Chains A and B, each alone.
Chain A
Amino acid sequence: MITRQLSLSTPVFLFIFGIQEVVVNQFRLPGGGFSVFFIFALVWAILSTPEVAALSGFASGLLMDLSPSASGPIGQWTLIMIASSYAISFFGSGNENVKGNPIGVTFFISAAVFITEILFVISGALLGVQTGSFGQVLLTTIGISLWTLVVTPIFLPIFSRLHDFALDTRSKI
């Protein structure tokens, strides 16, 4: 069962990561733009159990660390994504206002993006990664969160079906 889930999930993660690096990164969008892979990883986490979310957070964080444009040391995004994915799943599971409701999921994901980015900045500061002035960081973080709010409803049904297909669950939104 686990082998089947892993063999189906891995290409899905790699495909979305490829889309992010090859297509989405071609555009320099105002306000920092959005990361389709970031949104995908968080949606995947909210639809999964905390254990699976932590594992998928590890995998997605590792891929984000391997992105050539990542600025921090390898492992920084991994650490942040494990914590974020686990927390999202932990707080989202059992809360029908969030999990069963697409609008709830969208707002939850946007808030999660905002908090995760802040965590990245704080951990980056501890690790000596330069992220710019406070104002610029705040603007970029708010920009990315707002973009997430806009694009998440577009991708949510696709990601939900992919999750359902790969993990054989009934968590369609």
Chain B
Amino acid sequence: MRDGGEGRSRLLLIVLIVSALFLITLDLRGVGVLEGARQGTQTILSPFQRAGSVVISPFKNFFSDVTHLGRTRNQIEKLRADNAKLRATLLNRKNADAQLLQLKSVLDLAGTAGFKVVNARVISQGASQSFSQTITIDAGTTAGIRKNMTVLAGTGITGVVKEVYSHTSLIMLATDPAFRIGVRIAGSQQIGILSGRGSRSGSLQLLDNQTNVKVGDVLLSRGSVANRPFVPGVPVGYVTAVDNSAGAIAQSATVHLYTNFSTLGVVSVVVAASKVNPGDALIPKKPRPTPVPTVTIYVTPSPSPTK
């Protein structure tokens, strides 16, 4: 009896494992039914994600703020006094204002380059249990979005459209380990490949061993054939460290990406690029220090002192 129970248990386990392996095989062979299943899940989930995004948005940036508390302590101290006056108003409008700011900067960027864009709100962040870095936006095929289109944020490249559904799209972020983009260094025009590393820093591999890269160099997207997946001239990031290993064929470097992926609220998908390459026109301007006004007071002694 006991042997029979164990036998059944083993048989069940084998059947389940074989089923899983069967599913993997079907998916790797590109069977459409399985792809449709994932698409169906997203279609069912998207209205709930949209509603959830609206309800949860006031608390969304809480953890990100906590993470950066140490680095921005001075700034927080300075702003605290101002915030006290505006807190009541700000509580209601904070989220909307942040999204408006992101939208404005991304439209500025797209406008300078002459890109035709579709703006969308981020309605869900992907789970990191699969080590992938994705977001879901509330625009899909009905808005003109197609697979492999460039996605921008206010300061530069955000990612690429990985999957597109009728009313939502899944975006692979530039931080995803599977993300690759051809880049050129502004000015010198050296080319290389930038890979995501799971964090805000990327890894640059130059293609030519005769060229040099230095800290501070700005990287722009090279662009792809027919502008998909990447339109040219979009700022990607800047070099923070250079690896000059003697054994390496070509130089490699660490790159800080311009986009702050932890606070993404609004993004733009480039649905059509201009015929003219924007060149280096989109490089973000370096912040100028605010001039401090100096007031000089001359005191001249009175000729006849008053008594």
Contacts and interface: CB of A to CB of B under 8 A. Distances in A.
Query: Taking each of A62, A75, A133, which has the highest tally of chain B beta carbons within 10 Å of its own beta carbon?
Result: A75
Given A25-B49, A26-B49, A29-B63, 16 more contacts: A26-B52, A27-B56, A68-B42, A69-B124, A75-B20, A75-B21, A75-B27, A76-B24, A78-B19, A117-B129, A120-B129, A120-B130, A127-B28, A132-B198, A136-B199, A137-B198
B262 A35 contact: no
12 contacts: A22-B48, A26-B60, A27-B59, A29-B63, A54-B13, A65-B38, A69-B126, A69-B127, A74-B24, A74-B37, A131-B177, A136-B131
Interface string A63-96: 0111111111111111100110010000000000
Nearest to A124: B131
A73 B198 contact: no
**Chain A residues touching B, majority SS:** helix
Contacts of B56: 23, 26-27
A56 to B, nearest CB: 11
B13 A86 contact: yes
Interface residues of B, number: 55
A74 B23 contact: yes
A28 B64 contact: yes
A18 B44 CA distance: 10
A162 to B, nearest CB: 20
B9 interface: yes
Contacts of A24: 127
A144 interface: yes
B197 A20 contact: no
B19 A58 contact: yes
B221 interface: no
Query: Taking each of B64, B126, B131, which has the highest tally of chain A beta carbons within 10 Å of its own beta carbon?
Result: B131
B43 to A, nearest CB: 10
Contact of A82 (B17, B129, B198): B17
Contacts of B21: 75, 79
Nearest to B67: A30
A71 B262 contact: no
Interface residues of A, number: 57
A102 interface: no
Instruction: Give the 5 A-B CB pairs with smallest separation, nearest first.
Output: A75-B23, A69-B126, A132-B177, A75-B24, A71-B132
Contacts of A3: none
B130 to A, nearest CB: 4
B155 to A, nearest CB: 18
B9 A50 contact: yes
Contacts of A70: 38, 127, 130, 132
B19 to A, nearest CB: 7
B23 A18 contact: no
A55 B23 contact: no
Query: Taking each of A26, A66, A121, which has the highest tally of chain B beta carbons within 10 Å of its own beta carbon?
Result: A26
B140 to A, nearest CB: 12
Interface in B1-38: 8-9, 12-13, 16-17, 19-28, 34, 37-38
B45 A136 contact: no
A97 B132 CA distance: 36
A92 B56 CA distance: 37
B280 interface: no
Contact of B170 (A69, A77, A78, A136): A69
Interface in B177-204: 177-178, 196-199
Given A54-B12, A82-B17, A32 B197 contact: no
Nearest to B59: A27
Interface string A98-124: 000000000000000000010011001
Given A71-B178, A74-B34, A38 B129 contact: yes
Nearest to A131: B131
A79 B17 contact: yes
B38 A132 contact: no
Nearest to A75: B23
A69 B63 contact: no
A164 interface: no
Contact of A69 (B26, B34, B59, B132): B132
Contact of B23 (A78, A86, A120, A131): A78
A119 B38 CA distance: 23
